């Protein structure tokens, strides 16, 4: 096998087949994928969730993960956010000619490990190679299918007045880790992306209570944009308290230095839940027992005032409107 | 709205939302997509097909189609090739900063038209924007879900000795149309991509007989690579006759001029079927009544000789081994 990707790896001919067999199937193979048919065939019944995301993160490798881990976690998490149990993912690669095979191998191996951890199978895929300069190294798309258990009804438009807002842990780890890696910044405390599959956390939460109305992972645009989406879709107001929102000291320090607001920085292993107030404490204590959410906290509530708006009580006691991210904070964060 | 895509269109913040609402939902909106949740929720029962493909074709617009039409047809066709009725597709865009909004609009509109024609709905999506120079204008990923009717069992590994091989129409239209557009070549007869959804054709074929063993669309790598895949997966020999294989005069002329072999050129609206010999004539005559396959023909058969190999009887009466495409013929053909 050549040590770099060449255009013929994407030809649909012999080298494509060799790449698929020697690298992709060796790592990810299963009875469904091994057939190499045009589509995977699956037997599934009931309510399904279906999602897709393309990943263009730069750099491809960062503290706490790489584009492969991210591509599995992101899609697993999107399925989890509608309450689905993630089952199957597709994997589509757009590779720049000249990309190192050993890096591709590392990324495929990371996809494998993460898929195993999240309990999903890669059942169908595609590989394209573009000329040097037509893409930046590697882009990955994953789509996913999950099964929604009976009685689960989650949507950004389901928030009700009086509901509590729970955040699963400290904000901004992913965005700041990527930025530091990209710019070669070093802090005394090491910063790692929080990139992780959240399906077991969601399963725990739904076991504690079915009275969860909304779930979403605050990725691009951060917590601020996610809460604004809830306020808009559910036509409600949102009130949060700054002193309740967990942020690691290292992330806070980096944000201050770089002029970022943690509310707008991307996360890849956190979720925000809107939960019926009676069930909130029960859901919270269940979350805190899961390794993905030991620092979970109630950070605010859904209110009748200022529908469509998110208002934060600052640490100084004043109130501030938190709007959706307006420009672009950090391109290619995921 | 700006007249070009800027990085903030991919931020996950306000401009992302505006782009999604003003362009994507306006064109593609439906109750499921309009929710803008992290995943679409669908109710489906039984055997499903799941597939994905990324599209990196260059140029984005070509005679007979564009990247949007191609992205819907390709995924609809992959679902159809396992006998599924295509139902839902996802749409993920990777856009280069600076891309013209009016071109994006044209492509989204073409996605809409093609999806309507094929009877599929876009139910979930994603948009990423990368810095100028990090991608070539626009890449599209579509994944798709379809329902496999009872009794349908298609796979590249199902070819049986004695089966007939049917090709749905003339070879090479897509590849040659792209090449001529790219290189500014003009021929007297206009050459158009054959890019088309094949789901109604497959439905007609399965109505004629359930004794269809394999279906595949010969895209990248052409008919030659597809037949080699069948021979390898089913561990059988394949015999085809050159004089039975339809190729348009204009495509043949272009191929001769440019040094291509139509057997290796990509198609985007053709299929190859391996059909039980008793049912072959019935399936063929049904195909010829569908607008996508008026020139369908039986081009060969599955044999016990030379397992794993494809042998063609040439027009001069000699025999030639047809191997899988070895190098790269035409990068970024789809």
ipTM of this model? 0.95
Query: Touching check for A138 and chain B: CB below 8 Å?
Result: no
Q: Which residue among B93, B123, B130 places its CB closest to the CB of A50?
A: B123
Query: Touching check for B157 and chain A: CB below 8 Å?
Result: yes
**Contact (Cβ atoms closer than 8 angstroms) between residue B312 and residue B262:** no
pLDDT number for residue A2? 60
Q: Which residue among A48, A129, A139 places its CB closest to the CB of B94?
A: A139
Q: State the CB neighbour count (10 A cutoff) for residue B26.
A: 13
Q: State the CB neighbour count (10 A cutoff) for residue A1.
A: 11
Q: What is the mean pLDDT of residues A104-116?
A: 97
Tens of pLDDT along B279-332?
A: 999 999 999 999 999 999 999 999 999 999 999 999 999 999 999 998 888 889
Q: What domains does chain B contain, in order, with CATH numbers?
A: 7-148 (3.30.1330.10), 164-321 (3.90.650.10)
Tens of pLDDT along A155-209?
A: 999 999 999 999 999 999 999 999 999 888 877 777 999 999 999 999 999 999 9
Please list, in sequence order, all residues whose beta carbon lies within 8 angstroms of the beta carbon of residue B65, skipping any fewer than 6 positions away: B73, B110, B193, B195, B268
Residue of A nearest to B55 (CA): A128
Q: What is the mean pLDDT of residues A33-44?
A: 90
pLDDT number for residue B187? 75
pLDDT number for residue B328? 83
Residue of A nearest to B131 (CA): A331
- Name residues of chain B where pLDDT drops below 70: 1-2
Query: Touching check for B234 and chain A: CB below 8 Å?
Result: no
pTM of the entire predicted model: 0.96
Query: Touching check for A267 and chain B: CB below 8 Å?
Result: no
Query: Touching check for B194 and chain A: CB below 8 Å?
Result: no
pLDDT number for residue A186? 79
**Chain B residues lying within 8 Å of A46, measured CB to CB:** 43-45
How far off is chain B from A49, nearest CA to CA, in Å?
4
Please list, in sequence order, all residues whose beta carbon lies within 8 angstroms of the beta carbon of residue B186, skipping any fewer than 6 positions away: B180
pLDDT number for residue A73? 98
CA dihedral A239, A243, A249, A250 (to 10 degrees): 20
Q: What is the mean pLDDT of residues A20-40?
A: 91
Convert A180-207 to b/e letters by CB count within 10 Å (16 or more is b): bbeeeeeeeeebbbbbbbbbbbbebbbe
**Contact (Cβ atoms closer than 8 angstroms) between residue B97 and residue A25:** no
Residue of B nearest to A88 (CA): B50
Percent of chain A at pLDDT > 70 equals 99
B42 beta partners: A48
Please state, rounded to an integer, the average pLDDT across all residues of chain A. 95
**Contact (Cβ atoms closer than 8 angstroms) between residue B51 and residue B75:** yes
Please list, in sequence order, all residues whose beta carbon lies within 8 angstroms of the beta carbon of residue B177, skipping any fewer than 6 positions away: B62, B63, B64, B191, B192, B193
Does B42 contact A52 at a Cβ distance shorter than 8 Å?
no
pLDDT number for residue B248? 96
* Secondary-structure breakdown of chain A: helix, strand, coil percentages, each rounded to the nearest 5: 35, 25, 40
Tokens 């191997």 appear where? B323
pLDDT number for residue B2? 60
Tens of pLDDT along A245-275?
A: 999 999 999 999 889 999 999 999 999 999 9
- List the one residue out of A305, A309, A249, A240 whose CA is nearest residue A272: A240
Tens of pLDDT along B153-184?
A: 999 999 999 999 999 999 999 999 999 998 88
Burial class (CB in 10 A: 0-12, 13-18, 19+), A262: buried
A216 beta partners: A272
> Residue A8: which H helix or E strand, with range?
none
Tens of pLDDT along A218-246?
A: 999 999 999 999 999 999 999 999 999 99
């Amino acid at each position: 096998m050549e040590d770099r990707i060449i255009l013929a790896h994407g030809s649909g001919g012999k080298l494509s087949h060799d790449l698929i067999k020697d690298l992709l199937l060796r790592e990810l193979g299963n009875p469904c994928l091994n057939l190499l048919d045009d589509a995977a065939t699956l037997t599934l019944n009931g309510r399904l969730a279906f999602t897709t995301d393309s990943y263009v993160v730069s750099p491809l490798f960062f503290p706490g993960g790489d584009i492969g881990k991210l591509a599995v976690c992101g899609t697993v998490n999107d399925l989890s956010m509608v309450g689905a149990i993630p089952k199957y993912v597709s994997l589509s690669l757009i590779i720049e000619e000249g990309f190192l095979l050993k890096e591709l191998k590392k990324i495929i191996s990371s996809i494998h490990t993460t898929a195993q951890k999240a309990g999903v199978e890669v059942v169908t895929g595609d590989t394209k190679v573009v000329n040097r300069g037509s893409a930046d190294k590697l882009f990955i798309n994953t789509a996913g299918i999950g099964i929604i258990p009976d009685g689960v009804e989650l949507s950004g438009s389901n928030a009700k007045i009086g509901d509590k807002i729970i955040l699963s842990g400290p904000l901004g780890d992913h965005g700041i880790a990527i930025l530091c890696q990209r710019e070669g910044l070093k802090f005394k405390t090491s910063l790692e992306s929080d990139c992780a599959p959240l399906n077991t956390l969601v399963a725990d939460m739904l076991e504690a209570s079915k009275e969860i109305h909304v779930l979403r992972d605050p990725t691009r645009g951060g917590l601020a944009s996610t809460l604004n989406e809830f306020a808009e879709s559910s036509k409600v107001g949102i009130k949060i308290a700054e002193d309740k929102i967990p942020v690691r000291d290292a992330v806070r320090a980096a944000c201050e230095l770089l002029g970022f607001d943690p509310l707008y920085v991307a996360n890849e292993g956190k979720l925000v839940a809107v939960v019926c107030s009676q069930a909130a404490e029960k859901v919270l204590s269940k979350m805190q027992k899961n390794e993905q959410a030991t620092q979970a906290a109630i950070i605010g509530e859904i209110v009748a005032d200022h529908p469509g708006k998110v208002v934060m009580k600052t640490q100084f006691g004043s109130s501030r409107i938190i709007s959706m991210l307006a420009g672009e904070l950090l391109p290619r964060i995921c």
